Amino acid sequence: MLRGKRDAEAALKKLEDFQSSMEQHQGWRYFIEKSRLKAGTDPAEATHLRQSDLEAREAKALQESGSTTELSPLKQSFG
């Protein structure tokens, strides 16, 4: 586990070194996420798949909590 943490921290450091100071101050433009998407996936398809994954996680969380709160407002943006 420590090796994984060390590798993750090294990857994050590389990412920070890659960004300009302006980008770092504006916020993260690039971020690391666990994904099942293959490199080179069409951006529109990738957005759709990420949105579907988010909705599935939210639905599961709502079901587990017994809440009837509406799902993410992002759904309206991505239809």
Indicate whether 50 and 17 sit together in one domain: no
Indicate whether 79 and 47 sit together in one domain: yes
Our count of domains for the chain comes to: 2
Indicate whether 27 and 46 sit together in one domain: no
What 3-state DSSP class applies to 13?
helix
Indicate whether 75 and 50 sit together in one domain: yes
> 29-38 — which CB contacts under 8 Å span 24+ positions?
32/8
pLDDT tens, 2-28? 578 888 888 888 877 887 777 777 765
Give the range of the structural domain holding residue 28, as residue numbers without chain letter: 1-32
Assessment of whether the complete model's pTM goes beyond 0.95: no
C-alpha distances out from residue 63 to 12, 51, 56, 67, Å:
34, 18, 10, 7
The answer, yes or no, to whether residue 72 has pLDDT greater than 80, is: no
